[in-house]
Structure 1
Amino acid sequence: MTRSAFLTLTALLWLLPQLSLAADLPEPIVEVEFEKTQTIPGQFLPLRITILVPTWMPQPAVFPSLDAPNVRVRLPERATSPTSRRIDGEDWSGVSRRYMITPLVPGRFSLPGGTVDITYADPDNTSVPLTTSLDLGAIEIEGIVPEGAEQLTPFIAAKTLTLTQEISGETTDLKPGDSIRRTVTVALTGASPMMLPQLTEVPQIEGFAAYAETPVLEEKDDRGLLSGSRKEVVTLMVQGNGQGDLPALELSWYDITSGTIETASLDAVPVTATGAPAVARESLTRFDARIALAITTGLIALLALAYLCWPHLALMRRERRARYQKSKAFARRRLLAAIARQDYPATVRALKLWAERPPHLRQEDQVRIREALRLLGANRYGARPRKTGQEDWRILADSVRRSVPDDRQDAGKHRLPLLNP
């Protein structure tokens, strides 16, 4: 046997056990416990997903949401907990999560199972983390209406259900400005208040204005037993003569304890009010219409006037702006802006323009400004130029701001000379 053949055989004999060990490495386990897949709409089905690994998980497992249309997926209190199991003589660890799956309406539904993403320690080298995704597969559930309850619309199933109302204030012989507040409350146990429909409508009663508030839902979970309430409020404001009824209410539901159809109801509430007669209200309405018409006509007239005058106003504005741009005030503003930027060439140009425009400055102001600009030019372009500082520019700006026009001087006598530092 040659030396190369011997080495090849030795390598193969060493690799075969390693490949066998790699093939025998334990894989993580995912278990889906879903014993019951059918229930009454509004009632929950327990689902448990358990993940086990041969070592441990240094990071939390990432579970899917399982959301689907017309299905409520809820995590109860302490839904996720650690777990362990002995498999083939070895201790495995993991995590378990409990879901509550509720079909909201009758029908068959498929939940997208998705995957659980986990990270666990390598059994051969626990300092090295391994990652994998475990497929859950599809999860099927069905909401079934009990026999005899097919006519319930909407279908509501609960252990108990009560319907109550509270009326605040008097309901008869009311005056304009009075109000009535009707609070209707539906309370139930054994189901979520999310299953309850809207009960009250905004009533149309002559002499009253009605306003509905946003319903308020409250849900409680007592170790898996759901309960809660739905509260609806309607307020009536008296505006004048009128009478009518706050309508009667009725809600049928399925009692999951007795298996029977029950009905909760509230009687109608009569309301009456006295106030301005109908003729007076009609006159008031006509008066309001006349005011609205007058306001609208006035606004249209103002808009038409503004449209006709706009070209003339725009021309006046342009002329005024042109006059301002030719003024000494405009030139002074440009000069101070150039000084603020510390732009020496722009400062010289702006100063020339400002000096040429009347009224001209007093002699002492001209000398002071000329001297300040000369120092700036000497520091910038002189035989020994140096960087001009903030103080040099500040002195020039102060000299310009303190300058005063001298109306006694001849218009062309004491202008600042053209500068060429």
Structure 2
Amino acid sequence: MTNIALIVLDTLRKDYFDKHFDWLPGTRFENAWSTSHWTASAHASLFTGKYPSEVPVNKKNEFFPATETSIVERLSESGYRTRGFTSNIYMSSNFNFDKGFDELETSWRVKQIPSENTFNWGAFISTHRDEGPSRYFKALYQCLTDDSDTIPSLKYGSKMKLNDLGIITHEDEGSKRALEFVRKSNFDTDGEFLFLNLMEAHAPYDPPEEYKMVERPKINKRRPSLTGGYDDPEWPRTAYDDAVRYQSDIYEKIFQAVREDFDVVITVGDHGEMLGEDDTWLHWIGIRPEVSHVPLCLSGDVDIPDAESVTSLVDVHATLADLADLDMPSPRGESLLRSTNRDSRLVEYRGLSQRRREVVEKVGGDPDEYDRDCYGIAEMRYHYDTLDGFVGDKEWQPRIAEAVESLNLERAEDDRVSDSVIEHLENLGYA
């Protein structure tokens, strides 16, 4: 059995990958595309070989469905030991993406989310923000008198305050912990599957001090990418570059450690990032190439017959199944280890979550302006919808419509996440 590692460099733009990851060995796919503009939808494609709305995982449903089979589950059923590390809350039990993992370790950000029985200090203080310092005493009283688990709640509140005061600090977004996880794991010589999600390139762009050319930019959590809002746009761009430089350096150590035990390592981005193009920031609006064009590299002793054709995250799913010799066809993808006719791949944007609609409304915007579908199609070029019109060859518009019409669309339920999870998402620039 082939030992396989799938490592996702979350939010890494293709152009910044080219700039900073020249050390990474393997076959690079220059024309690789995500299926979406954000983490959960992109990973749904990696894990199922479907387009996100076929699963369905999109902004109307952020949870991996219980009825859907993940390739991680199939690997486990076929005898693989499945282990992972995630820095991203979406790739955790909070959103059902832990299905099939024998072991899934999480970063400090995910660990700090309180359980349902823990008093949510952050949510309480946020809703009483106008009351000054007295809100902390009210929160303490509420913690001691409600139905929460008192001791864990007090510990959580203390840790939050120490974080705010800078007494407790974290070296990075989790990659150092991921390196420790890889080094301490006793991998077998065969039958191992490893998944890593590394978040250094994701906001808040806060690498270790020695990498900082600028101080970490403040993200307006209420409208992070609706209007931009940076007097000096080079500030967040430089901060992003700082974070990617650090991601490259720490990933080089992780990669070297992984290659000691794994035959094939697939390094891929789930989506990119907007850095002021169209006065847009982060990655919650649209499918411009800055967001949808992703890095993809296969490292190991494998024959790649065609690295020039267009490829997508759905093809990564097919490749994983091929490497593991699974009888698990990829509904939309083709293995990168086989000579096939990959002529085009779809990218989708399915509007806003209800939480984001509420944020847009609170700042006086019209959520309907952003809450609509856009699709793109990648071939030798990329043609795509924007909120302001179509970019690319007009002759491809009917092809996009045909591709969308062929999707096996599933109805997406609007699931509700806990207040503590919402608070965590807001800290990362989501709503």
Question: Which TM bucket (shorter chain)?
Answer: under 0.3
TM-score normalized with structure 2 length: 0.16
Q: Which is strand-richer, 1 or 2?
A: 1
TM-score normalized with structure 1 length: 0.17
Q: Which is helix-richer, 1 or 2?
A: 2
Q: Which has the higher contact order (CA 8 A, sep 6+)?
A: 2
